[in-house]
Amino acid sequence: MKLSTKGRYGLMAMYNLKENMGKGPISLKDIAKDENLSESYLEQLFTLLRKAGLVNSIRGAGGGYELSRDPKEIAIGDIINALEGDLSLSCCDLGKNENCNKLNECATRDILNKLQGKIEIAMESMTLADM
């Protein structure tokens, strides 16, 4: 399993907001420059982060983005899920796919279900403040 650029760049950008917390809104241009990322790509990511309620956007001169809440309250899983959608280790969605013809005899379902649970616990136990 490999996290896409959405997830990696989103984490970098959110870290940047955390580091600049209390300094007012940060522009995407500044984040792009600090993190060596594409500003246009960040625009796409921040649309998703804003819709998920993780950042607030401030318009006008001196505008930009800021975290919507304390970094201790933003789980890494919240960020990843906002950008990547729900991560699933199995193509059959761990037995939730009732159309799967091997549902009752799947050799991988149990182990993938356990791994999925561990990943979800880890992503929810770590916050932006831990970065």
pLDDT tens-digit profile, the chain (131 residues): 678 899 999 999 999 999 999 999 999 999 999 999 999 999 999 999 999 999 999 998 889 999 999 999 999 999 999 999 877 776 665 445 556 666 667 777 788 888 888 999 999 999 999 99
Number of H helices, E strands in the chain: 5, 2
Structure tokens at 59: 């318009």
- What are the chain's domains? 5-130 (1.10.10.10)
Q: Which contiguous run of DSSP H or E holds residue 120?
A: helix 109-125
Instruction: Please tell me the predicted confidence (pLDDT) of residue 73.
Output: 97
pLDDT at 100: 64
Rounded CA gap, 67 and 57, in Å? 9
Quick check: 21 and 67 in contact, CB under 8 A?
Answer: yes
Classify residue 28 as exposed, middle or buried by CB count within 10 Å of its CB (0-12, 13-18, 19+).
buried
| The pLDDT of residue 20 | 95
32: left (phi over 0), alpha (psi -120 to 50) or beta: alpha
* Collapsed DSSP state (helix, strand, coil) of residue 75: strand
pLDDT at 127: 97
**Backbone phi, then psi, for 93, in 5-degree steps?**
60, 40
